[in-house]
Amino acid sequence: MSGPTSTDREKQPPLNGRRALPSNNSNAEENDVPEMDAFGLIPRGFNPKDYLRVVDIHMFKEPDEINKQQHHTDKYYNPKLIVRRGQPFQIQIDFSRPYEPEKDQIWLEYLIGRYPQPNKGTYIPILIGDVLKPGEWGAKIIHKENNSIRLSIMSSSTCIIGKFRFYVAIRTPYGIIRTHRNSATDTYILFNPWCQLDAVYLDDEKEREEYVLNDVGIVFHGDVNEVKLRSWSYGQFEENVLDACLFLMDKAELELSGRGNPIKICRVASAMINSKDENGVLAGSWDNLYAYGVPPSAWTGSVDILLEYYSSKQPVRYGQCWVFAGVFNTFLRCLGIPARLITNYSSAHDNNANLQLDFFLDDEGQVDNRLTKDSIWNYHCWNEAWMTRPDLPVGFGGWQAVDGTPQETSDGMYRCGPASVQAIKHGHVCFQFDAPFVYAEVNSDVIYSRMGKNGSQVIEKIDTTHIGRLIVTKGVGTDDMVDITENYKFQEGSAEERLALETAVMYGVKKQTTQPSTYQPQKDVEMDLQMQKAVLGSDFKVTIIFRNKSRNSYTATTYLSGNIVFYTGVTKSEFKKHSFSAKLGPLSSSAFDVMITSAEYLNDLLDQASFHFFVTARINETGKVLAMQKAMVLEIPILQIKTKGEMVVDREMSVVVEFTNPLKQALENVTLRLEGPGVLRTMKKEFRQIPATSTLIWEVKCIPKRPGLRKLIASLNCDALRHVYGELNIQIQKP
C-alpha cells in the first residue's frame, strides 16, 4: 500500500514520540484505500479498462451455501460472510476477460481498523498459490470457467477476530488498480473450536454444539438445599448481536492486534461486562431498589441488554451475578469461544482474601453486623471459557474461570480471570489471573468468634465444609444439572485437599495455619437445623435438633434469629427472634419446633425470597457455645406457557402465558416478558393489578423464523413478587 495522501495527513491525529502510528483499537473505523496506486507519472494514453478488471465478486454468504454451512455460522442472523479462522472458505471472482496467470498479477487484501499494518496482522495481502498450508493465510484456484475463477482461501489460525474489509488488487505497468470499497464483501472472522490449530479447539462435537452453538441455557440458583433453575436466552446468533460484541472490544479500546488471543479478550471482557470502570454493559444493583431500570430478575436473556448497550453506549440497568454471567456467555459463544455458565453454592466473598470468613458474635450470641465484613452468597454465578494457556506451564489449559460480576478489583479494575480451573484445584494460585480470589470463593473456612472479657478473640466454632458446597453447570445436550465440584477441589478432608491448601498458602494465599490454642470444639452435644419446604405466602416451621452424646443432663440457652437476606448473604432485616431454654437428657435427642408465619416475613421479603437462620446455643453447665447457620429459599409459583395452533416456520402462531396470584394481597404494576430465540423477539406487557388469588392470561401472536427445537422463556415482575419464571420447549416444523 502506498503512503498516506495529503488529505489523509490532515485527518491523522498528532503522533507521539514513541510510536510511528497511533493505536489501532477500533474495528469500526476505516482508512481510505486508493483505487489507483500509481507508481509515478501516468502516461496520457493510459486506460485502466485495457487491463484485467473485476466485474463481480460472489461471497457464497447465504445460510444454506457452502461457507456458512461448513463453518457452522449458518445460524447468525447476518447477511454478510461469517467464517471461522484456520479453515478454508470459497469466493468467486468474475473478470472482464478470462484470467491468465502468466500475464495477470492479482492478489487479495484483507484490512481491519484505521491504520492497517502487515506486521500487526491488520493488513493481510494474499497471493494466489498452488497449495494451502494449514493455519496460514493463502489462496488457490479450485475452478476456472470462462471469465471466472473460484478460490479457496485459508485464514490464519491465530488471525484477529473481527470484521475485515476485502479488496482485489490488480497490478498494471503504471500502478495498482483496486476494487472499490464494497461493504457487501466485508468478512467476519471468528474463533474456531473445530480447528486443531486454534487456541480454543475443543475435540468433542457434542460439547461444541452445547458450548458454542446452543443459544439457550440454564441458570441454577436458590441455595444448596433447594436448587432452583431457570432458562436464559443467550441469543448469540440474533440480529446485531455479533456487531454489539465487536463494539464491546472497541469500547474497551483493545488493540486490534491483541484480538486473536482469547486470554486477552476474556480479561478485557470481564471488565467490560460491568459498568464499574469504563462504562461497561451492565450496572449492578443489589439493594432491591431498581429505580429507572429493569430489575435483574425480569431479564429473560442477553439480547435486549446487549442491543440496548450497542445503541445507547451507556450502561444498562440492572444486573446481578447471573445476568452478568448470562451476557458474558453470549459474548464468548458469539465470538466462537466455548463457554458455560456455572453456579457455586455457598460462595465466599472474602474481603481480605485470607481464606476465612469471620463472623463475630456479640454477648447474646447474635452476629455483630458492625464487625462482620465478609459475606456468604447463597450462590454466585460465573463463566468458564475453554482455551489453551501458552502463558502458563503445561497442564493448565482447558476451562478457565472468568467473572464479569464486580466484586473486588484486579490490577486496579473490576475484573476477574481468566484463572485456570486446574490450577485452582491444585492450589497453584501463583498463575495469572486472579486465582487466589476464585480459590477463596470455593475453599474458605467459616469462623465464629466473640470478644472475650479481656478483649481477646475467642473462637467458638470453625466450619471447614460450608463454603463451595456444590458447583454445577448445565449438562451437554440435556437440561440436567451436572456436579463439577471436583473440577475445583478435591474431596473435603482428603490428603490431596490438604496438600492443595498448603500449596495455595505457599503461593501467598493468606491463612492462619495453626488452630488457635483457645479453640476446643464442642464434642459431646451436636446441633442441627431443619426447615420445612414452604411456598411463598404460607407458614412453615423450623426445627432445632440437639443430640446429647454424653451421660450428663444439660440445659442449653438457645437463640434463633431469622433474617431476610439478599442472595449475597447480606442481611436486610431480622424478622424473627426466638429464645428458649432446652433441656437435654443424657444420651438422647431432643427436637424443638419454631413456627414462622407469613405475616412475619411478607412485608420485608426481597426478590429472591431468601431467609437466613442463625442458631446459637450456650450449654449452661460447660459454657460451650454451638453455632450454626442455614439459608432457605421459598418456593415461588411459576408461569404457565401454552401454544395454540400449528407451529410452522413463517406462519402465525399463538403463545399464551398464564399466572395465578398466590398471595393474600393484590399485585400492583406487574410486568410480563416473553422471548424465544428464532421464534419471537422480546415482548413486554404491563398489568396495573392482579387481585389476590385471581388468574391473568396474556396471548401473543408471533411468526417463528427457525425450524427445530426452540425454547420460550417468560418472566413476571412486580415489587411484591420477583423471580417468577416459566418456560416451554416447542418443536417448530419446516414449511
Q: Which entry of 380, 428, 612, 723 is annotated as an active-site residue?
A: 380
What is the distance between the alpha carbons of residues 297 and 253, in angstroms, rounded to a whole number? 31
Q: How confident is the prediction for the chain on average, in pLDDT?
A: 89
Annotated binding-site residue? 492: yes
DSSP 717-728: EETTEEEEEEEE
Greater confidence, 229 or 607? 229
Annotated binding-site residue? 497: yes
Q: Give the pLDDT mean for 267-288.
A: 89
- Res. 531: pLDDT tops 50: yes
Q: What is the pLDDT of residue 198?
A: 96
Check if 58 is active-site: no
Band (393; pLDDT cuts 50, 70, 90): confident
Percent of the chain with pLDDT over 70: 94
Q: Which entry of 198, 215, 223, 403 is annotated as an active-site residue?
A: 403
pLDDT digits (tens, 9 = 90+) for 130-142: 999 999 999 999 9
Q: Which entry of 321, 381, 416, 702 is annotated as an active-site residue?
A: 321
Q: What is the pLDDT of residue 561?
A: 86
Q: List helix spans (H) across 533-642.
A: 598-601
pLDDT digits (tens, 9 = 90+) for 308-348: 999 999 999 999 999 999 999 999 999 999 999 999 999 99
**Cell numbers given for 135:** 493455519
Band (7; pLDDT cuts 50, 70, 90): very low
Distances (CA, A) of 352 to 347, 384, 451, 649: 15, 24, 20, 55
DSSP 347-364: EEE-TT-SSEEEEEE-TT
Q: What is the pLDDT of residue 9?
A: 38
- Res. 651: pLDDT tops 90: yes
* Residues 517-539 as b or e (16 or more Cβ within 10 Å = b): eeeeebeebebebebeebebbee
- Phi and psi at 278, nearest 5°, equal -125, 45
pLDDT digits (tens, 9 = 90+) for 143-173: 999 999 999 999 999 999 999 999 999 999 8
HSE, CB side, 13 Å, CA atoms: give it for residue 377.
Answer: 25
Check if 321 is active-site: yes
Check if 380 is active-site: yes
Q: What is the pLDDT of residue 507?
A: 78
What is the distance between the alpha carbons of residues 626 and 521, in angstroms, rounded to a whole number? 9
Distances (CA, A) of 152 to 132, 139, 622: 8, 6, 83
Q: What is the pLDDT of residue 431?
A: 87
pLDDT digits (tens, 9 = 90+) for 567-626: 777 777 888 989 899 999 999 999 999 999 988 888 777 667 788 888 888 888 988 888
What is the distance between the alpha carbons of residues 215 and 192, in angstroms, rounded to a whole number? 17
Band (521; pLDDT cuts 50, 70, 90): low
Q: What is the pLDDT of residue 4?
A: 40
Q: What is the pLDDT of residue 374?
A: 79
- Res. 467: pLDDT tops 70: yes
Q: What is the pLDDT of residue 8?
A: 42
**pTM of the complete model beyond 0.85:** yes
- Res. 475: pLDDT tops 60: yes
Band (358; pLDDT cuts 50, 70, 90): confident
DSSP 64-125: TSHHHHHTT-TT---SSEEEETTS-EEEEEEESS---TTT-EEEEEEE-SSS--GGGTSEEE
